[in-house]
Amino acid sequence: MRYILSHALGIPLHKVNVHVRHVGAGFGGKAGINFEPLVVLLSKFSGGRPVKLLLTPEEEFITAAQRQRFYGWIKRGVDADGKITAEHIKYIYDARAYADYGVKPNRAAGYSCTGPYEVPNIHPDSITVYTNHPYGTAFRGFEHLEFLWAVERQMDMVALKIRLDPVEFRLRNVLRPGSITATGEKLREDAGRVDQCIKAVAETIGWGKKEKRTASGKLVGTGIAALWKAPAMPPNAASAAIIKSNEDGSATLSVGGRK
């Protein structure tokens, strides 16, 4: 936020101070910058007085950042053993009038376009388009929920078409340690076991057992979906640490980390 404010308003970076309350992580909508420059300018024109910006519900929908609209298209090939052989994928995200942060989750959707499944042959496109709608940005889930819904919905549709249990269909194709992802990475042992998660959930909800009904006689539906999330950066991103020698002989170690 400091850098963007400095660049947008022509203020030297060292003169920009941002005081942030405890508001948690980025969660998409807070990852970029929104109305902050407007508030800074209003404060400047009012003689440096504190300014608080409040939006009505109408203003929120017309002028504030929106979750991007999504269109997904998947064509999937499956062999006689229920193994996915190929996929042709097209995801289109409506970035609205300005792309803002929306390009990054769209790129991440391209990284993880198949969902947590191994697909040996793949042609994916994840496209950002401009429209005349209020501008879009990243939101909670980094725009993964949209395309993962498309992936999982089609997994159920294909399972029904080939007359294979949806859970079994997922287990036959799910990524495991040693599997190759859509971007060519070989999963390590510490990548997690999605197959075990699917089995645990299926057992917990009583998958495949006798149908359940409420006291009034209504059927209780059950379903399973396997999801994963790719970051905005590639898996081979570098990291670094800085050691500074001080005048008194001590050293200061600077390294990024999480609790």
Highest mean pLDDT: which range of 62-71, 79-88, 182-191, 214-223: 79-88
Q: Are 103 and 130 in contact (CB under 8 A)?
A: no
- Which range, of 85-89, 134-138, 176-180, 246-250, averages the lowest pLDDT? 134-138
Average pLDDT over residues 81-105: 88
Q: Where are the domains of the chain?
A: 2-54, 66-213
Q: Is the pLDDT of residue 107 over 60?
A: yes
Q: Quick one: fold of 66-213? A: Aldehyde Oxidoreductase; domain 4 (3.30.365)
Q: Is the pLDDT of residue 60 over 80?
A: yes
Could you give the residue ranges of the DSSP H alpha helices within the chain?
A: 2-9, 36-45, 57-63, 103-111, 144-161, 166-173, 194-204
pLDDT band at 62 (very low <50, low <70, confident <90, very high): confident
- pLDDT in the model for residue 147: 92
Q: Is the pLDDT of residue 258 over 60?
A: no
User: What are 90's two structure tokens?
Assistant: 């097209």
- pLDDT in the model for residue 29: 66
- pLDDT in the model for residue 111: 86
Return the ∠ at Cα 5 (arms to 135 and 94), rounded to 5°: 15
pLDDT digits (tens, 9 = 90+) for 113-157: 999 999 999 999 999 999 888 877 877 777 788 999 999 999 999
pLDDT digits (tens, 9 = 90+) for 192-205: 899 999 999 999 98
- pLDDT in the model for residue 25: 64
Q: Is the pLDDT of residue 259 over 60?
A: no
User: Residue 176 and residue 189: Cα distance in Å, rounded?
Assistant: 8
Q: Are 230 and 108 in contact (CB under 8 A)?
A: yes
pLDDT digits (tens, 9 = 90+) for 153-166: 999 999 999 999 99
Average pLDDT over residues 25-46: 80
pLDDT band at 31 (very low <50, low <70, confident <90, very high): low
User: Residue 89 and residue 127: Cα distance in Å, rounded?
Assistant: 11
User: Residue 164 and residue 159: Cα distance in Å, rounded?
Assistant: 5
- pLDDT in the model for residue 157: 95
User: What are 240's two structure tokens?
Assistant: 């670094």
Full-prediction pTM beyond 0.85?
A: no
- pLDDT in the model for residue 257: 66
